[in-house]
Amino acid sequence: MVVAEMSMSLDGFVAGPDATLDDPLGRGGMDLHEWAFRLAAWRKPHGLEGGEVDVDSALVEKHLAATGAVVMGRKMFSGGSGPWAGDPNANGWWGDDPPFRKPVFVVTHHAREPLELGATTFTFVTAGVEQAIADATTAGSGKDVHISGGADVVQQAIRAGLVDVIDLQIVPLLLGSGVRLFDGLEPRRLEAGTVVAAPRATHVRYTL
Amino acid sequence: MVVAEMSMSLDGFVAGPDATLDDPLGRGGMDLHEWAFRLAAWRKPHGLEGGEVDVDSALVEKHLAATGAVVMGRKMFSGGSGPWAGDPNANGWWGDDPPFRKPVFVVTHHAREPLELGATTFTFVTAGVEQAIADATTAGSGKDVHISGGADVVQQAIRAGLVDVIDLQIVPLLLGSGVRLFDGLEPRRLEAGTVVAAPRATHVRYTL
């Protein structure tokens, strides 16, 4: 199953405006992930101590356990305009020990050898999101393929009919501007499934 | 308490594109209200027989019971470009017995005498949304003031700091284009409260 998971503001944005290298999610964009960042379930794989445990934790743990491989866009790998733009050998912005610890497939126009950082291997796919999802499906050994963003990669995958499920975290914030998750998509009906209500996000699973 | 209630598509639209007199909610816009239209709780006040009863019904009944008076924009009264545009005495598009049966205050630039239709009186307020809400508060005898739309009136009321709560029905549809509910608003944080999950809409109460 191919799952796109995104934290979206109530006004539809998955990143704020004016993304920079230091602030790759744009103004206010980090706040969209507050519901997760504060959790022990999120902090531990990121090498951080402590954190909270509540209804959101179970969701993060469930998603992590269900995921076999990850697909992301180039900007999500290298951070906004990113170091890779200038230096083809730069290691993105995930540091020496990225939290994924699973095969990650980066959709990009720039060919590059696979990059191993800690327990995570980034493979760079220049043949488009369809190929990246196919490669991730093989690498994930039957577990879910998790499309982590950005919005453009999710939109490409939806348009190609490759997304089975959107796990949407609807965050009670208005960002006012930025990058919209649902943009340039054809009108369509989805099926709303399980809802987990929490103060920092309403988690809804949509089946396409 | 001032409550704005809107049915919004997952991509943020409260009306589809190309609204006309025959199709005042624009292409796909009526589908946003399917969750309510099929209900006995909605059909009865609209003079229609039958209908379904389920988790959505309780919500509609609760909102109707809590509401003392209604505020709406001119387009919602007269339907899109509307009959009133051509004929200052036209009765809008709610028919001879509008379903409100409560005082309704219409925000408009065009002065007009109050209009009584069945058990509903429409009062036309030319002094802006703030005045309309003040008048509705008085007329509603302590019950909630319900802002029914459109998006522009809701936005004006939010910007003026007059909305206490948004009852949002998040409908699992992508409309692709149309009228956005949250547009031109300053970044801000809301508080997500009660969530009622149903197949046709995820109902979330947001406190501003």
The verdict on A154 touching B (C-beta cutoff 8 Å) is no
CB of B83 less than 8 A from some CB of A = no
Strand partners, B89: none
Instruction: Please give the Cα distance from A134 to A169 (Å, whole number).
Output: 25
In this predicted structure, what is the pLDDT of residue B85?
Answer: 53
A116: alpha, beta or left? (left if phi > 0; alpha if psi -120 to 50): beta
Answer whether 0.90 is exceeded by the pTM.
Answer: yes
Quick: pLDDT tens for B60-77: 999 999 999 999 998 888
Q: How many CB atoms lie within 10 A of CB B9?
A: 27
More confident residue, B90 or B148: B148
Q: Which residue has the higher pLDDT, A197 or A84?
A: A197
Query: Which residues from A are below 8 Å from B192, CB to CB?
Result: 172, 197-202
Inform me whether the C-beta atom of residue B204 falls under 8 Å from chain A C-beta atoms.
yes
For residue A208, pLDDT over 90 is answered with yes
A-chain residues near B204 (CB < 8 A): 170, 197, 202
DSSP line for B5-17: EEEEETTSEEE-S
Question: Residue B33 in 3-state DSSP?
Answer: helix
Distance CA A114, CA B147 (A): 55
Average pLDDT of chain A to the nearest whole number: 91
Per-residue pLDDT reduced to its tens digit, B170-184: 999 999 999 999 998
The terminus-to-terminus CA distance of chain A in angstroms comes to: 12
Tell whether B175 is within 8 A of chain A (Cβ). yes
* φ and ψ at residue B46, rounded to 5 degrees: -90, 10
Residue A79 confidence (pLDDT): 65
β-pairing, B191-198 vs B201-207, is antiparallel
Q: How far apart, in whole angstroms, are the C-alpha atoms of residue A185 and residue B98? A: 36
Tell me the angle at which helices B151-159 and B129-139 cross, rounded to the nearest 10 degrees: 90
Fold of the CATH domain A2-18+25-207: Dihydrofolate Reductase, subunit A (3.40.430)
Report how far residue B12's alpha carbon sits from residue B8's, in angstroms, rounded to the nearest whole number: 6
User: Taking the mean position of all CA atoms in its chain, how far away is CA B130?
Assistant: 16
- The yes-or-no verdict on residue A152 having pLDDT over 90 is yes
State the Cα–Cα distance between residues B25 and B93, nearest whole angstrom: 12
What percentage of chain A exceeds 90 in pLDDT? 73
Nearest CA in chain A to B11: A182
Q: Where are the domains of chain A?
A: 2-18+25-207
Cα separation, A10 vs B141, in Å, equals 32
Would the pLDDT of B44 be above 90?
Answer: no
